[in-house]
Structure 1
Amino acid sequence: MCYEIVCSIVAAMTTATASRAPAAAPVRPRPRPRLDWRLRFAALSLIWGFSFLLIKVGTDGYAPFQVTLGRLVFGTAVLAAAMAVKRERLPRGARTWGHLTVAAFLLNALPFSLFAYSELTIPSTLAGICNATSPLWGMALSLVALSEDRPTRVRVAGLGIGFLGVLTVLGAWQGFAGLDATGTAMALLASLSYPIGWIYVRRTLAGSGASHLSLTGAQLLLATVQLAVVTPLFTSLPTQVSLVPLLAIVALGALGTGLAVLIQYGLVAEVGPTTAQMVTYFIPVIATGAGVALLGESLSWSTPVGAVVVLAGAALTQVRRKSA
């Protein structure tokens, strides 16, 4: 969900920090986290895997825009608390805030809303698998937008295999029978929005001088403002408070958006972005299991088989050429 956001900002900030650091600066060892990174990795996989179930439950009682707004409010609150504890300040500069406004739309407001709307008509299992196509879209876009990202035969093959898996999940040989085209298109568009935002962040926010936490906190704040403006225009106040959907929205925001980002920051800092991004391959598995076991969603053979093919293709797109 947000792994590409975190890793892109961390990479950009790391590059900027390295360029400003003195050549002979002493390296201070990082304090060792109390919880083993493998346990935090597993927790992050579960949190993001269950996010699609929480979206589905939330939309049972509230409009999609209301679900997204609530998610952003509670997620922003968690990051604001973390910033207060670490005494972090919001970034400065009109240019930085302008770029963060665009990033907030592409990486939060738009995909979160699209996933919420898509799950009105498609199962959470399908939404979770569509989310796994983000690395495929990212690979395709980076070949065009990032001159330093050169294609290899393995990565191009992975792109083709991945999209073959998408067609398998959607049942292309059956003419996409029984599939809601609008909901599926929304989920795929949401997945496409992530790498577009990632490329934008990489091109515009490198060297901004603000911390990772400060940038993401400001980004979620801006996305919350965007949804706060849009939501009243397209929805009306709910006539009654549905407790279970409300709790799902709280969990989606506080855990799936706020806490998950903080966990991912720690993982990227400790084990690097490559290992941290491996969480991508567990999300659709957990989302599928949760949807089938807890929501009673149906599962045909093509869904898990196609999901495996998608993940295999996504893994191949992440293979980099070894430096000489």
Structure 2
Amino acid sequence: MSDFCVVLGNTTMDNAKLKWIYLALLSLIWGSSFILIDKAVEGLGFVQVGALRITVTAIFLFSVGLNKVKLIKRPQWKWIFWTAMAGSLFPVFLFALAQEQLDSAVTSMLNSLVPLHTIVFGILFFGVAVSKRQILGVLIGLVGALVLIFAGATFHESQNYWYSAFVLLATIGYGLNVNMIKKYLNDVNALAIVTGNFVIIIIPAILILIFTGFFNQILDNEAMQIALGYVVILSLFGTAIAKVIYSRLVQISSPVFASSVTYTMPIIAIFWGVFAGEKFSIYQFLGGFIILLGVYLVNKKAKKTED
């Protein structure tokens, strides 16, 4: 793990190449997260899934990154708090709630709204300069996401698409989170940011587990034990490791580039959905291709000034 932290914090690799490696890793990890959430909510309530995800992640992060928290300066803790709320606390509950009604692949497609919110809030509140090509790329990617969503709705008529509102709220949080990291925490160690986030939200998570009776039920409930296994995998990879990589990606690239991972994640999520027996169509293939085109345009530089 120490080697992992060194790679994230002080790599000598060219950032232009490294950001694509991070993007690929995050696509694989987060694209696989949705099927894990889907399996977890089969044995646990969405509140317990969210609280467990925070708790397990915090234990892991504290074991490797608690000493990094001292790198955070006092004025920066305000932004650590807000990034914890927007990027960690509320989204884990919102996604778990949404997946009580929506398939994993559908949820991942809705998550593709993150880059759009990143640009909107970046322009409105953070003074982010966005090129016309990036805006075009985001819009094209959004079209691809909509193709995927409507294609999925055709094959999943029994699902309650009103629950997509919870994913929408989570993507708004992610859009705010990435902009705050870039503007206010860009010089802070990536592991310190993520560990600091979980220092703030670990207590509420533990209290939720206590009041929902999780600790009294887990020893006698096999379904909960199986679900716990999925949450542990999700927490270690989909939350702890991935969030450190993501924070570092934001720092070495741009908010728009980093958030474009939400366009590539559905491709992985759809693969897992098909593997798990979910239906898939040629229109979803088309949507995936359009998404990749959008990612290319978002991240292609016309000149040195674009990223």
User: Hey, what's the Cα distance between the residues in 2 that align with 1:126 and 1:156?
Assistant: 24
Establish whether residue 160 from structure 1 lines up as the match of residue 142 from structure 2: no
**In the alignment, does 2:200 pair up with 1:222?**
yes
CA spacing shift, 1:149–1:261, aligned 2, 3 Å: same
Instruction: Indicate the SS of the match to 2:236.
Output: helix
Counterpart position of 1:17:
none
Identity percentage of aligned residues: 23
Note if contact 2:55-2:205 (Cα within 8 Å) is conserved in structure 1.
Answer: no
Give 1:97 deviation, angstroms. Answer: 2.5
TM-score (normalizing by structure 2): 0.76
Change in CA separation of 1:139 and 1:311 when aligned onto 2, cut-off 3 Å: farther
2:59 matched to 1:77?
yes
Q: Is residue 2:27 matched to residue 1:49? A: no
- Classify 1:260/1:160 alpha carbon distance in 2 versus 1 (closer, same or farther; 3 Å): closer
Residue equivalent to 2:81: 101
The answer for unaligned runs of 5 or more in structure 1 is 1-9, 15-28
Code of the aligned partner of 1:259: I
Amino acid at match of 2:194: T
Q: Give yes or no for contact 2:54–2:198 (8 Å, CA) kept in 1.
A: yes
Contact 1:171 1:302 survives alignment (8 Å): no
The 1:76/1:202 distance shift into structure 2, 3 A limit, reads same
Report the CA distance between 1:177 and its aligned residue: 5.6
Distance (whole Å) between structure 1 residues aligned to residue 250 and residue 120 of structure 2: 24
Superposed displacement of residue 222, structure 1: 1.6
Asked if residue 142 in structure 1 is aligned to residue 125 in structure 2, the reply is: no
**Per-residue CA distance 1:10-59 (angstroms, 9 max, x = gap):** 9xxx9xxxxxxxxxxxxxx9578xxxx79887655432221111111111
Deviation of 1:103 (Å): 1.0
Q: Distance in 2 between matches of 1:45 and 1:312?
A: 16
Between the aligned partners of 1:30 and 1:60, the Cα distance in structure 2 is 40
What corresponds to 1:288 in structure 2? 270
The 8 Å contact of residues 136 and 162 in structure 1, kept in 2 or not, is answered as: no
Q: For the residues of structure 2 that align with 1:77 and 1:203, how far apart are their CA atoms?
A: 28
1:102-121 map, 5 Å: 102-121=82-101
Q: 2:175 aligns with which of 173, 178, 195?
A: 195
Render the CA deviation track for 1:192-237: whole Å, top value 9, x for unaligned: 2211112233343356xx532222101122233343445666x443
1:285 Cα shift? 1.3
Segment drifting more, 93-102 vs 73-82: 93-102
Q: Secondary structure at the match of 1:88?
A: helix
Q: Relative to 1, partners in 2 of residues 1:236 and 1:306: Cα closer, same or farther, differing over 3 Å? A: farther
Q: 1:231-310 counterparts in 2 under 5 A? A: 235-237=212-214, 239=217, 240-241=221-222, 242-262=224-244, 272-273=252-253, 280-293=262-275, 295-310=276-291
Root-mean-square deviation over aligned CA pairs: 3.6
Q: Which has the higher contact order (CA 8 A, sep 6+)?
A: 1
Secondary structure in 2 matching 1:298:
coil
User: Is the contact between residue 61 and residue 245 of structure 1 (CA under 8 Å) also seen in structure 2?
Assistant: yes
One-letter code aligned to 2:181: V
SS in 2 for 1:165: helix
Q: Is the 8 A contact 2:81 2:200 kept in 1?
A: yes
SS at match of 1:213: helix
Distance 2:248 2:169 in 1: 29
2:175 maps to a residue whose letter is P
Pairwise CA distance, 1:321: 4.9
Preserved CA contact (<8 Å) 2:263 2:292: yes
Cα–Cα, structure 1 residues 279 and 205, in superposed 2: closer, same or farther, change >3 Å?
closer
Q: Is the 8 A contact 1:143 1:151 kept in 2?
A: no
C-alpha distance after superposition, 1:276-308 (max 9, x if no partner): 877555422111111220x21222343332233
Q: Which residue of 2 aligns with 1:22?
A: none
- The secondary structure found in structure 2 opposite 1:133 is helix
Asked if structure 1 preserves the Cα contact closer than 8 Å seen for 2:264 and 2:291, the reply is no
Q: Answer whether contact 1:139 1:317 (CA < 8 A) is retained.
A: no
Among 273, 294, 297, the alignment partner of 1:313 is 294
Code of the residue aligned with 2:119 in structure 1: it is M
Work out the CA distance in 2 between the residues paired with 1:94 and 1:126.
41
Q: How many Å separate the matches in 2 of 1:150 and 1:109?
A: 28
Query: What is the Cα deviation at residue 106 of structure 1?
Result: 0.2
8 Å CA contact 1:135, 1:317 repeated in 2: no
Q: 2:189 aligns with which of 202, 211, 215?
A: 211
One-letter code of the match for 2:291?
Answer: V
